[in-house]
Amino acid sequence: METEERVEMTASEREVMRVVWTLGNATSKDIVDVLEMKRDWKPATAKTFIGRLVKKGILLAEPEGNKYIYSAAISEEDSVKTEADRFFEQICHKQAGRTIADMLAGATLSHQDVELLQAVLDDKKKQAVEEVACNCVPGQCSCSTPR
Ligand SMILES: [Zn+2]
C-alpha cells in the first residue's frame, strides 16, 4: 500500500520524469533545458519538483562532483500502468467497459495496436461475465442504490 502511494506523481512531476526516462541519466540542467522550453519553468521550479520526486523515491540521485546525476527508480511503462489501474479503481467497475470503449474510439492506433487489442478482446470474449458487479459504496453510484 505504501509503495503505491510513493509512486503517485503530479502532472508537473511527470514532466520531469519523462525527461529522465528519455535520457536514462540526467542532470538538473538537462531537465531544466527541456522544461524551460515546454513549460517556461525557471530552474528553481524544476529543482522543486526534482526534490519532491527524490523524496518520493521515484527519482534516484547519485552525487557526481558538485552536481547530482538523476535516474528513474521505476520504468515509464510501470508508471503508466499504475496510473491507469488507479484510475479504474476510482470508477464504478460497471463503467469500465464503456470508458475503455470511449478511450479506444478517441485514440489513434497502428495496425499493430489494433491486432493487439483484437487478441485481448478475443480472450475477454471467452471470459466475459453476464453482468459486471458494482464495487461502489452506496451513495457513490446509482447502480448500487435503488432509485
Ligand atoms: Zn457502482
Q: What is the pLDDT of residues 2-32, one digit of tens each?
A: 444 546 899 999 999 999 999 999 999 999 9
**Domain map (residue ranges) of the chain:** 2-72, 91-127
Using the mean position of ligand 1's atoms as its centre, give its distance from the Cα of residue 31 in Å.
42
Question: Given pLDDT bands bounded at 50, 70 and 90, which one contains residue 37?
Answer: confident
Long-range contacts of 132-135 (CB under 8 A, 24+ apart): 132/93, 132/94, 132/96, 132/97, 133/93, 133/94, 134/92, 134/93, 134/94, 135/92, 135/93
Between 117 and 3, whose confidence is greater? Answer: 117
Using the mean position of ligand 1's atoms as its centre, give its distance from the Cα of residue 88 in Å.
12
What pLDDT is recorded for position 3?
47
Q: The CATH number of 2-72 is which of 3.40.50.300, 3.40.50.720, 3.40.50.150, 1.10.10.10?
A: 1.10.10.10
- pTM for this prediction: 0.79
